[in-house]
Structure 1
Amino acid sequence: MSLQPLKSRFDSREQLIAYVASLNPKSADSIVSATIGGEESAQTALANINPQQYAHTRNYLDGDVSRLSPYIRHGIISLNDVRNHALSISDDPKQTEKFIQELAWRDYWQRRYRQNPHDIWHDIEDYKTGFTADDYADTLATDITTGQTGVAVIDHFIHELCTTGYLHNHARMYIAAYIVHWRRIKWQAGAKWFLRHLLDGDPASNNLSWQWVASTFANKPYFYNLENVRKYASSGLNVAAQDNVPLAYSYDELDGMLFPNREDNHG
């Protein structure tokens, strides 16, 4: 039986969606992301970047980020294309510095992956959390994958991930830290889960970022509290303390709760 070539031209987005669904009729996932692929959409997104605004607002969940990552991930536009365009629309190269730095980080992840492919799924270093790798669970709990953790901001981000295929980088860090440090689950489990859902997911940027949060590719673990989420929150995000109890502590309190075995938490 010969394989049939995949159809690549459609009269409408609806026809494309129906065709993709027909390729896997057993899939129960009927959610379709609003992100539109293709070179035309990529060029539109590229034309709309604002590097100066990005530098000032990128940490905010409703900040002026480029949303170019799915197009870069799938080779529709290159990092070089993005950098050159950013420089071309700025009167002062300093205005684009932060934006280009983030492109450089993505390039670094890719180079690190090519030079050390083994690092992608294995701990580069030991955890700096006071725990060993054996202290972490191998699989995600069902309440995480279904977005029913009872932590309002985490459940909000999980819903966004599973319905849009995209998350702001800060939200990715929040989920990753929650999974690794609050729930004590290996970063590999979370990284695999992200790759199943993210339209821009690639092992280099995804996995090495998870390792940075976990502290197996950093000198300390990344964690946060509810006050930090409130600072960067977008409208509509439920940041009430009673709905986010595990996050509603000071940094000192969380440090002692999450990492009781670390040497600097004794004495």
Structure 2
Amino acid sequence: MDRDMRRDFANRDELVAYLREQFPEAAKRDNNISEIRGGHQVAKKALQKVKPKRYEKTRNFIKGDVTRLSPYLRHGVLSLREARNFVLGKVNSDDDAAKLINEFGWRDYWQRLYFKLGNGIWEDREEYKTGYSVAEYAPELPEEIREGNTELNCIDSFSRQLRETGYLHNHMRMWMAAYIVHWRRIRWQAGAKWFLEHLLDGDPASNNMSWQWVASTFSHKPYFFNRENLERYTEGVYCKECSLKGKCDFEGSYEELEEKLFPKKEFTRKPNSQSWQKGKKKRR
């Protein structure tokens, strides 16, 4: 029979100490404590800060006006209906909130798909569209990626942020996933499991199907990027301090990278940047 957990604590430090004591294996695996705060009051404050029109225009930029609602939606602190209604009540025209409402819709879709597929979300829904077979992808995630020791400043920074904060901007998730699956040729399941170990908003449905979209097992082509794309949406912050700038894995045009990454496969269309959560039509 499960015992009741304590709910009253004098301060956050006391809560953290209690949770480490109750879940020693989890604490041993990762001792970082995220600064993201929980609770409905905090969630409501986050919701009140949402700027739908700014979200549409800037969400792809690392410093853009993203909502940061995902942890609260993931754990049911906020409902999609509550978030949707608040956003629609904040704009003069529904069109001003269309992009954000669209993202809520995709989250709902992933949940419905999860309800239908169950553990099937861990299986390739389609074959890879990369020219490679499943057997040609490694099943495990290398330690240098987990620990942030690849020498690629952007990838290593994303890895540290994932572990230390429990959160990554949507674009960072896409870049990291593309690097793992296409540059390192590792099965998407390995990366998806790693994300779920750390993300406070780690929802199996949105997480897994988005990884499958990047991998091309739930889309018509793989998602990948180049340094120009990375620099544009990060203001070059990672490239400026990277010892590999000018000779990193992401240098070159999309056509050049396409030939390098997928030599067995012919493509007729350029890749376009799309949302981690959306996984369908053109997004970035």
In the superposition, the TM-score normalised over structure 1's length comes to 0.95
Ranges in structure 1 where 5+ consecutive residues have no aligned partner? none
Q: CA deviation at 1:137?
A: 0.4
Match of residue 266 from structure 2: 263
The answer on whether the counterparts of 1:125 and 1:217 sit within 8 Å (CA) in structure 2 is yes
The C-alpha deviation readout for 1:76-125, integer Å capped at 9, x for no partner, is 11000000000111111111000100110111111111112243100000
Per mean C-alpha deviation after superposition, the further-off stretch among 178-187 and 92-101 is: 92-101
Query: Within 5 A, what are the aligned runs for 1:116-155?
Result: 116-155=117-156
2:250 corresponds to 1:247: yes
- Quote the residue 1:16 is aligned against: 15
Q: Could you tell me whether the CA contact under 8 Å between 1:230 and 1:239 is conserved in 2? A: no
Tell me whether 1:84 sits opposite 2:85 in the alignment: yes
Residue ranges of structure 2 left out of the alignment (5+ in a row): 269-284
Equivalent pair of 2:130/2:265 in contact (CA under 8 Å) = yes
What value does the CA root-mean-square deviation take over the aligned residues?
1.6
Give the alignment of 1:1-267 within 5 angstroms: 3-25=2-24, 27-28=27-28, 29-233=30-234, 236-239=237-240, 242-244=243-245, 245-264=248-267
SS of residue matched to 1:116:
helix
Please report how far the alpha carbon of residue 216 of structure 1 lies from its aligned counterpart in structure 2 after TM superposition: 0.3
| Distance (whole Å) between structure 2 residues aligned to residue 156 and residue 117 of structure 1 | 33
Q: Could you list the per-position Cα deviations for residues 148-183 of structure 1 after superposition, in whole angstroms to 9, with x for gaps in the alignment? A: 111111111111111000001110000000000000
> Does 10-19 or 99-108 show the bigger shift?
10-19
Deviations 1:22-60 (A, max 9, x none): 113453332110000111111110111111110000000
1:57-78 CA deviation, whole Å, 9 max, x = no partner?
Answer: 0000111001000000000110
Percent of aligned pairs with the same amino acid: 48
Aligned residues: 264
1:178-222 deviation digits (Å, cap 9, x = unpaired)? 000000000000000000000000110000000000000000000
1:234 deviation in Å? Answer: 5.0
Shift of residue 236 of structure 1?
Answer: 4.0
CA distance in 2, matches of 1:240, 1:218: 34
Q: TM-score, normalised by structure 2?
A: 0.89
Secondary structure of 1:263's counterpart equals coil
Change over 3 Å in CA distance of 1:44–1:264 after alignment to 2:
closer
Match of 2:17, SS state, is helix
